[in-house]
Structure 1
Amino acid sequence: MKKEIKIIGSGFSSLSAACYLAKLGHDVTIYEKNATIGGRARQLKKDGLTFDIGPTWYWMPDVFERFFADFDKKPHDYYSLKKLSPAYRVYFGENDYVDIASNPQSIINTFESIEQGSGKILKEFLDEAKSNYNIAIKDLVYRPGESPLELVTPKTMMKLGQFFSNISRDVRKKFKSKKLVQILEFPVLFLGAKPSDTPSFYSFMNYADFGLGTWHPEGGMYSVIEGMESLARSLGVKIYTNAAIEKIGVENGTASWMMVNNEKITADIIVSGADYHHTETLLDKPYRAYSEDYWNKRTFAPSSLLFYVGFDKKIERAEHHTLFFDTDFDIHAQDIYDNPKWPDEPLFYASFPSKTDIEAAPSSKEAGTFLIPLAPGIEDTEELREKYFDKIITRLERLTGQELKSSILFKESFCVNDFVKDYNSYKGNAYGLANTLLQTAFLRPKLKSQKVKNLYFTGQLTVPGPGVPPALISGKLVAGLIEKQLNKEIKVTVKETI
């Protein structure tokens, strides 16, 4: 039963959903409010330098492989991948850093060199993390979050205790070195919550980190978007940019049209990959499944202050991905989650893709992306952005022992106000809802509207959660729910006919 399906947004989850729905034979059209596709994964090009505006980490390569395999394709049909070695560098002070290698045994050796006996403990920890990964990524996250019974399997029952402990407690029991603790807690940041609020089962992120490694697609993460766009178009998906959605119309309880740039567009089914909260504001109030109070009480992943900086020289003593943990992570986390405010001494992350990718910058220059995690919804002014840029660039100079300020060609920033303006992001959050115990699987906002027929959602505020790999999965899940509903309707029609 071919349907006219309209999709709001063109990020990873929307493109994923579009591909699956088009493969099923539907007439699929994407509407993107911005001038270019990609949602939060857009690209910035300036003066010969190239930046990923959003995601810069390519983790869980198996999820990407599984996505393309569903269309009898492979990632390398669309982009080239390189495994980073080292995967990343972590600074703890001046000339005090740890490089995370590209293979588990080397990482085990690194741990052992920092804390005697920790190598053996890490190996056992990673064995457990791999087991969790196989349960989670190969099974649980591909379930649509319709029922708590989705989580009840013989394998998860064996891991039940891990859902009621947390990453922070487990890691600190096993490792005494503060450096090692911070390195092991770092991947949890991709889940958008404090390690102390993240169930121990999510140690599978450590396997994603140490076991599967960190990769870089040539041309940046935007090359993945371009690959998915190419696949979508080959399947017949139509894509319109500069197409802002102003309203979703409901007739007889069914989503039946959208107002796009003041033009009424009819639809059999509507899927939104845009911000979930914003999408519901496009509906008349009686059709909204979640109240303002509901959203206000959720635990959101951080927002971010980002800088895209062009340097007229190569950066020394930094890797493609470099983390700066020379300040207190716990205090910064409190400033994000417990007492939302601008942090006094923030941790920050820097990406220098031009160290790996010749497309990112000319040989004598460097493209640098800097990120400071922030509480969503806090004040955002140009004065604050400048203040914090000076903080981190000064620390970068001191920690890496080089002068950089005089070599800055340009810088552009992106923060809370921009997340709201460009993505209609609730409180300017960058990553969606945090994956805490009470915001996991069936406890997240539903893929299928509970009040409006033929209205669906996909992306970081619904199942399975924040991050690029989960976004790909979310698109597949929503397409599966739509097909399930359509098949059910066909059976009812056939039965009535008989």
Structure 2
Amino acid sequence: MKKTIAIIGSGFSALAASCYLAQQGNKVTIYEKNDTIGGRARQFKKEGFTFDMGPSWYWMPDVFERFFQDFNKVTTDYYELTKLNPAYRVYFGVDDFINIYDNLEEIKATFESIEKGSGQKLETFIKQAKSNYDIAIKDLVYRPGVSPLELITLETTLKLNQFFSTVSTDIHKKFKNERLIQILEFPVLFLGAKPTKTPSFYNFMNYADFGLGTWHPKTGMFDVVCAIEKLARELGVTIETNSPIEKIIVENNTANAIVINGQTIHADIILSGADYQHTETLLDNEHRAYSEKYWESRVFAPSSLLFFVGFNKKIENISHHALFFDVDFNQHAADIYDEPKWPDAPLFYANFPSKTDLTAAPEGMESGFFLIPLAPGINDSEALREEYFEKIITRFEQLTKQEIKNNIIFKRSFCKNDFVTDYNAYKGNAYGMANTLLQTAFLRPKLKSKKVHNLYFTGQLTVPGPGVPPALISGKLVAELIQKSFRS
């Protein structure tokens, strides 16, 4: 029997879930609190400039292909991709940067030129990372996190030691040059945890980086949001914006309605792609599966201070993606995870989409996106935002040998308070809950409510974890659980 399904939020996981649920023949409606879809992956436009407001790295292209294949489609039915070369550049100082190219042979040569013997070590390391990738991304992450037995396979048993070592430990055993170590540790930051706290099995992220490469949708990551929206509408999904959820109504321990702008809307199934902790606040206390103490005890991925900047000239000596590691990597990590505070000397990331996409900025101009990772729950003020913009722009000018401050047409900032206001994000987190050993798979918040029938969750606070590819997978997993519940 087909059901009426109400989905809260329109981020990647919610959009993906809507497609699978509509494909099953259900009547599916998405309710989005903001005036545009996409959740954290919204788009911002101003004065001819275009910015992705959230995710900007297109990694794991096979996961996107697998998603569209589930609907007998391919990504090229909806958007075009460009493989970036270099994939990104890492700055360590003035005249000291490393380009990561679009193929392993060139990356090996780069490593070898910096540390003798590291090229062959890198090839061996990436071969192991690919093995882990094949196990994790092609199999394990497509399991719903219901039981610890999901993780026990012949392949994972053979790699058991990798769950009790860390990414950082393994990398330090193989490489000595600190710059190469930081480049290899960087990809696990997408998982929201320190390399010293991330199981070494997660080195599959290095294969995602060096093996599969970094791609860019023709006019940005919002192309993917629009693609899934188009697919969803083709499948019959209805999308309502400006629809903030005020309450989830539960009767006889069963969710059967949501309240939007004072109106009660009934549904057979309620699925939340919004922040998990916030969603539970829409329930009466006795129906919440996780206490405030629980959320407080979790390790959350960072929040971020973002700047969207329009420049009236082209920026030189820069690639599409650039990482600025010219300060102490470990100290900044400690300022996020160990003793949360604003970092004295922040690492930062810069993204210039107009280097690849000429529509991202007016002719002769440049669109720039800057990001500083911060501890979630940190104090946020306009004065601090301005102080830190000055810090990173001054360093940017020094490291890229150019003056750009006087070429800024406009600047928009986005930080913890905005993550709370716009996305109801717990402590203003940007990436969800970190994938540490004790927050992996069945140890994450459940896709299906433990207390309320017909209430489900999807997204970065549940299975499989943070990131865009995991969000697509999360949508598939929860849709399968819902379908299974129909038959039981």
* TM-score w.r.t. length of structure 2: 1.00
**In the TM superposition, what are the counterparts of 1:166-177 in structure 2 within 5 Å?**
166-177=166-177
Secondary structure of 1:126's counterpart equals: helix
Q: Tell me the alpha carbon deviations over residues 198-225 of structure 1, each in whole angstroms, 9 at most, x when there is no partner.
A: 0000000000000000000011000100
Q: Which secondary structure state, in structure 1, belongs to the residue aligned with residue 358 of structure 2?
A: coil
Q: How does 1:347-362 map to 2 (within 5 A)?
A: 347-362=347-362
**Separation (CA, whole Å) in 2 of partners of 1:372 and 1:39:** 20
Write out the 4+ residue segments of structure 1 that deviate beyond 2 Å after TM superposition: none
Note if 1:487 corresponds to 2:483. Answer: no
Partner of 1:221: 221
User: 2:112: which partner in 1?
Assistant: 112
- Equivalent position of 2:270 in the other structure: 270
**Where does residue 460 of structure 1 map in the other structure?**
460
- Does residue 445 of structure 1 match 2:445? yes
> 2:338 is matched with which residue?
338
Give the fraction of aligned pairs with identical amino acids, expressed as a percent.
Answer: 71
Give secondary structure in 2 for the equivalent of 1:359: helix
Secondary structure at the residue paired with 1:448?
A: coil
Which residue of 1 is the match for residue 383 of structure 2?
Answer: 383
Q: Give the match for residue 154 of structure 1.
A: 154
Q: Which residue pairs with 2:326 in the alignment?
A: 326
- Name the CA distance, whole Å, in 1 between partners of 2:75 and 2:68: 6
CA distance in 1, matches of 2:24, 2:147: 25
Shift of 1:363: 2.5
CA distance in 2, matches of 1:18, 1:358: 32
List alignment gaps of at least 5 residues for structure 1: 489-498
Give the aligned length: 488
The answer for the alignment partner of 1:245 in structure 2 is: 245
Structure 1 Cα separation of the partners of residues 6 and 337 of structure 2: 36
The alpha carbon displacement at 1:358 in A equals 1.1
Tell me how far apart the structure 1 counterparts of residues 26 and 382 of structure 2 sit (CA, whole Å). 46
CA distance in 1, matches of 2:101, 2:218: 20
| 1:13 maps to 2:20 | no
1:113-132 aligned at under 5 Å gives the runs 113-132=113-132
**Whole-Å Cα distance in 2 between the matches of residues 159 and 110 of structure 1?**
29
Structure 2 CA distance, aligned partners of 1:135 and 1:88?
27
The amino acid of 2:211's aligned partner reads: G
Aligned-partner Cα distance in 1 for 2:359–2:62: 25
Q: 1:438 offset after TM fit, Å?
A: 0.1
Q: TM-score, normalised by structure 1?
A: 0.98
CA–CA separation in structure 2 for the residues paired with 1:318 and 1:115: 24
- Residue by residue over 1:176-219, the C-alpha shift from the partner in whole angstroms, topping out at 9 and shown as x without a partner, is 00000000000010000000000000000000000000000011
- 1:319 and 1:95 mapped to 2: Cα distance? 15
Following the alignment from structure 1 to structure 2, what is the Cα–Cα distance between the partners of residues 469 and 406?
Answer: 38
Instruction: Show the counterpart of 2:100.
Output: 100
How many Å separate the matches in 2 of 1:215 and 1:52? 14
Deviations 1:124-156 (A, max 9, x none): 000000000000000000000000000000000
Matches of 1:359 and 1:268 in 2, distance apart?
A: 43
| Residue identity opposite 2:83 in structure 1 | K
In the alignment, which residue of structure 2 is the partner of 1:210?
A: 210
Pair 1:198 & 2:204 matched? no
CA distance in 2, matches of 1:264, 1:113: 65
SS at match of 1:134: helix
In structure 2, list runs of 5 or more residues that go unmatched: none
Amino acid at match of 1:124: T
CA RMSD of aligned residues (A): 0.4
Deviation, structure 1 residue 359: 1.4
Distance (whole Å) between structure 1 residues aligned to residue 53 and residue 414 of structure 2: 9
Instruction: Look up the equivalent residue of 2:339 and give its one-letter code.
Output: N
What CA distance in whole angstroms lies between the structure 2 residues aligned with 1:223 and 1:117? 41
What is the distance in 2 between the residues matched to 1:43 and 1:95? 34
Q: What aligned pairs does 1:300-315 form with structure 2 within 5 A after superposition?
A: 300-315=300-315
